[in-house]
């Protein structure tokens, strides 16, 4: 049996063992010739005879447990010849191993009236509240020590119980062998201690770098590496990192790295083992939603903000135009490569400036749109109105430019409200919203339309702010004749290219 000092040392990692008013005790082990053995924390003694009158928690012999001070422990060992040895103990922080022996009996039968009477006499007033804290039992099966990672035979170590389904196996105090200075080969990959190159598992040796035993609690310290890999002989050109296992993008050539053809660098970027031959020129990577993917070889108009390390959009590129002072720009680009949608539904596309031959069809289309978006000489104004339906209101916003995240920059406009056609006292139908639109401006609008959610009245009564109607959206402008017409997104963007200056001058006036 271990000393009380060793027992407390083995349990110091458990917060419950250090709680005020508790004692770390060692449940007596079973003898070598014992036929059966049991131990029980007794919390009450009821009517009746024998152990059926006892209430409490069963404990495992030869284990550690955190018990309240003054708790009663009854143990019984059956020896050959129908001989029973019964012991009544009390948790005492000053006793050896945390247990003070109160009574001993030797009987030919299990505990009876005499033992129950003694338990009633020594039972504490608060015994009904006594519970077992953390427990440490002998391991029934072999396993690996959490502290030194060496193998432990069955019943030779401590099994620390942290809760339902959670436990940790360690050697008993003082039984952990000293760690080896080196282990060959290394079981885990990592960066070499000498050259900082990459060492794959089994390609080098592991060197001890930390002798601190791992704590029993699952903290970040418990996951730190106690060994670090090292080359047996460092190569002249060590691998900068592990081989790629999926598609990545090279930090040097910006091309795709197929699995096994590149390495992950210490800063988290990736690089080809040998970059393939490619034409020099600016390249950019952009994310696209799954609803608007870009196929390889596609030539299209894109708006992007170069990432750190990427070149700016060249001024001479087809369709190039700077949209703001942060580098957000527009150009006609060709997709060199594109990935399949990821878990978030996004694709990654590699772009280069399109050649003039590739850009001609889009330039012709742009010229036609620019002619249609020429500023009008008139200064007509027109009123646009829509009805509020089932509590869902329409909205109108003026398009003022491009936005890196939302595509277009919008300024939402306040509406005038007309209640003359009100159909109910709640304002769910018949309230009209009115806005005044001007020529040489482009707007985006959204308004509610039927069908509605059949349960919309119940939703409105709950006070939940949610849409119960369908919504239509469109881009609007006022024609030279003073009419309001719907236009496409491409027409709205053409107006931004050609009429933004005119709108800015009008705003100044």
Torsion angle of C-alpha atoms 94, 98, 99, 100, degrees rounded to 10: -10
For the ranges 27-41, 267-281, 409-423, 487-501, the one whose mean pLDDT is highest? 409-423
Q: Which residue has the tokens 């885990």?
A: 188
Position 357 pLDDT exceeds 90? yes
Burial (Cβ within 10 Å: 0-12, 13-18, ≥19) of residue 410: middle
Asked whether residue 231 is domain-assigned, the answer is: no
Average pLDDT over residues 8-29: 61
Q: Decide: 178 and 149 in contact? Cβ < 8 Å.
A: no
Asked whether residue 46 is domain-assigned, the answer is: yes
Asked whether residue 408 is domain-assigned, the answer is: yes
The verdict on 440 and 333 lying in the same domain is no
The verdict on 35 and 128 lying in the same domain is yes
The verdict on 336 and 399 lying in the same domain is no
Asked whether residue 193 is domain-assigned, the answer is: no
Lowest mean pLDDT among 156-165, 217-226, 356-365, 420-429: 217-226
The confidence score (pLDDT) of residue 222 equals 46
Asked whether residue 157 is domain-assigned, the answer is: no
Position 13 pLDDT exceeds 50? no
- Cβ-proximal residues to 118 (8 Å cutoff; 6+ apart), any chain: 88, 102, 103
The verdict on 131 and 9 lying in the same domain is yes
The confidence score (pLDDT) of residue 384 equals 94
Tens digits of per-residue pLDDT, 259-270? 999 999 988 889
Say how far apart CA 192 and CA 195 lie, in whole Å.
Answer: 6
% of the chain at pLDDT higher than 70? 91
Lowest mean pLDDT among 333-337, 419-423, 486-490: 419-423
Give the residue numbers spanning the domain of 468: 381-508
Last residue of a domain, one of 138, 162, 187: 138
The verdict on 26 and 131 lying in the same domain is yes
Say how far apart CA 430 and CA 448 lie, in whole Å.
Answer: 13
The verdict on 352 and 398 lying in the same domain is no
Average pLDDT over residues 286-311: 86
Asked whether residue 67 is domain-assigned, the answer is: yes
Average pLDDT of the chain, as a whole number:
84
Q: Which two tokens stand for residue 491?
A: 């027409």
- Band the pLDDT of 496: cuts 50, 70, 90: confident
Asked whether residue 343 is domain-assigned, the answer is: yes
- Band the pLDDT of 64: cuts 50, 70, 90: confident
Tens digits of per-residue pLDDT, 67-105? 899 999 999 998 888 788 999 999 998 888 889 999 999
The verdict on 26 and 129 lying in the same domain is yes
Lowest mean pLDDT among 124-128, 398-402, 453-457: 453-457
The confidence score (pLDDT) of residue 6 equals 44
- In sequence order, the β-bridge partners of residue 263 are 243, 271
Tens digits of per-residue pLDDT, 433-483? 999 999 889 999 999 998 787 888 888 888 777 888 889 999 999 988 889
Say how far apart CA 199 and CA 438 lie, in whole Å.
Answer: 68
Burial (Cβ within 10 Å: 0-12, 13-18, ≥19) of residue 134: buried
Average pLDDT over residues 153-159: 87
Q: Which two tokens stand for residue 55?
A: 């209430």
Say how far apart CA 358 and CA 333 lie, in whole Å.
Answer: 9
Q: Decide: 50 and 112 in contact? Cβ < 8 Å.
A: yes
- Band the pLDDT of 396: cuts 50, 70, 90: very high
The confidence score (pLDDT) of residue 4 equals 38
Lowest mean pLDDT among 197-201, 304-308, 343-347: 343-347
Position 2 pLDDT exceeds 50? no
Q: Decide: 449 and 470 in contact? Cβ < 8 Å.
A: yes
Q: Which residue has the tokens 């889009």?
A: 362
Say how far apart CA 102 and CA 89 lie, in whole Å.
Answer: 5
Average pLDDT over residues 137-146: 86
Average pLDDT over residues 102-124: 89
Count of domains for the chain:
3
Say how many CA atoms lie within 13 Å of 179 toward its Cβ. Answer: 19
Average pLDDT over residues 224-234: 82
Lowest mean pLDDT among 5-19, 85-99, 156-170, 430-444: 5-19
The verdict on 321 and 436 lying in the same domain is no
Lowest mean pLDDT among 13-27, 47-61, 329-343, 473-487: 13-27
Q: Which two tokens stand for residue 451?
A: 């069908």
Q: What is the pTM (predicted TM-score) of this model? A: 0.54
The verdict on 130 and 8 lying in the same domain is yes
Burial (Cβ within 10 Å: 0-12, 13-18, ≥19) of residue 129: exposed
For 421-429, the CB contacts below 8 A with 24+ separation are 421/387, 426/391, 426/460, 427/388, 427/391, 428/388, 428/389, 428/390, 428/391, 428/460, 429/387, 429/388, 429/389, 429/390
**3-state SS track over 36-71:** EEEEEEEEEECCCCHHHHEEEEEECCCCEEEEECCC
Cis peptide before 451 (omega within 30 of 0): yes
- In sequence order, the β-bridge partners of residue 286 are 349
The confidence score (pLDDT) of residue 462 equals 81
Q: Which one, of 265, 304, 256, 314, lies nearest residue 284 by Cα?
A: 304
- Cβ-proximal residues to 282 (8 Å cutoff; 6+ apart), any chain: 310, 311, 312, 313, 314, 352, 353
The verdict on 351 and 387 lying in the same domain is no
The verdict on 386 and 497 lying in the same domain is yes
**If you ran DSSP here, which 8-state letter would residue 317 be given?**
S
- Band the pLDDT of 1: cuts 50, 70, 90: very low
The confidence score (pLDDT) of residue 342 equals 75
Asked whether residue 433 is domain-assigned, the answer is: yes
Angle at 309 between CA 304 and CA 315, to 5 degrees: 50
Last residue of a domain, one of 118, 138, 158: 138
The verdict on 309 and 430 lying in the same domain is no
């Amino acid at each position: 049996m271990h000393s009380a000092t060793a027992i407390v040392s083995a349990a110091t990692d458990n917060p419950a063992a250090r709680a005020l008013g508790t004692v770390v005790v060692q449940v007596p082990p079973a003898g070598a010739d014992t036929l059966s053995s049991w131990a029980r924390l007794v919390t009450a003694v009821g009517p009746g005879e024998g152990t059926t009158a006892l209430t409490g928690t069963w404990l495992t012999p030869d284990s550690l447990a955190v018990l309240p001070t003054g708790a009663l422990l009854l143990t019984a060992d059956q020896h050959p010849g129908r001989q029973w040895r019964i012991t009544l103990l009390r948790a005492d922080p000053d006793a050896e191993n945390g247990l003070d022996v109160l009574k001993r009996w030797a009987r030919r039968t299990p505990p009876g009236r005499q033992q129950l009477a003694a338990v009633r006499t020594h039972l504490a007033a608060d015994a009904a509240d006594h519970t077992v804290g953390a427990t440490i039992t002998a391991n029934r099966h072999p396993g690996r020590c959490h502290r030194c990672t060496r193998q432990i035979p069955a019943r030779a170590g401590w099994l620390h119980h942290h809760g339902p389904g959670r436990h940790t196996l360690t050697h008993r105090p003082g039984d952990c062998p000293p760690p080896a200075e080196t282990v060959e080969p290394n079981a885990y990959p990592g960066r070499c201690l000498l050259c900082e190159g990459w060492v794959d598992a089994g390609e080098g040796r592991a060197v001890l770098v930390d002798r601190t035993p791992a704590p029993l609690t699952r903290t970040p310290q418990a996951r730190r590496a106690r060994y670090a890999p090292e080359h047996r002989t460092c190569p002249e050109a060590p691998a900068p990192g592990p081989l790629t296992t999926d598609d990545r993008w090279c930090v040097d050539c910006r091309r795709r790295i197929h699995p096994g053809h590149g390495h992950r660098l210490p800063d988290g970027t990736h690089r080809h083992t040998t970059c393939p031959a490619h034409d020099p020129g600016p390249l950019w990577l952009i994310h696209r939603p799954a609803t608007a993917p870009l196929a390889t070889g596609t030539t299209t108009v894109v708006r992007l903000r170069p990432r750190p390390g990427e070149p700016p959009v060249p001024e001479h590129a087809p369709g190039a135009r700077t949209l703001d002072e942060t580098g957000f720009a527009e150009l006609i680009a060709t997709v060199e490569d594109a990935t399949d949608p990821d878990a978030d539904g996004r694709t990654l596309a590699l772009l280069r400036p399109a050649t003039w031959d590739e850009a001609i069809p889009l330039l012709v289309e742009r010229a036609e749109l620019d002619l249609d978006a020429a500023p009008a000489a008139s200064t007509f104004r027109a009123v646009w109105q829509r009805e509020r339906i089932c509590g869902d209101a329409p909205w109108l916003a003026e398009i003022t430019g491009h936005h890196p995240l939302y595509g277009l920059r919008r300024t939402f406009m306040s509406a005038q409200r007309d209640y003359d056609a009100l159909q109910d006292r709640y304002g769910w139908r018949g309230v009209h919203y009115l806005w005044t639109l001007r020529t040489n401006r482009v707007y985006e609008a959204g308004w509610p339309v039927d069908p509605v959610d059949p349960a919309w009245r119940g939703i409105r009564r709950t006070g939940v702010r949610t849409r119960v109607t369908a919504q239509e959206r469109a881009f609007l402008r006022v024609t030279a004749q003073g009419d309001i017409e719907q236009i496409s997104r491409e027409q709205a963007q053409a107006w931004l290219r050609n009429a933004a200056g005119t709108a800015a001058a009008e705003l100044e006036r």
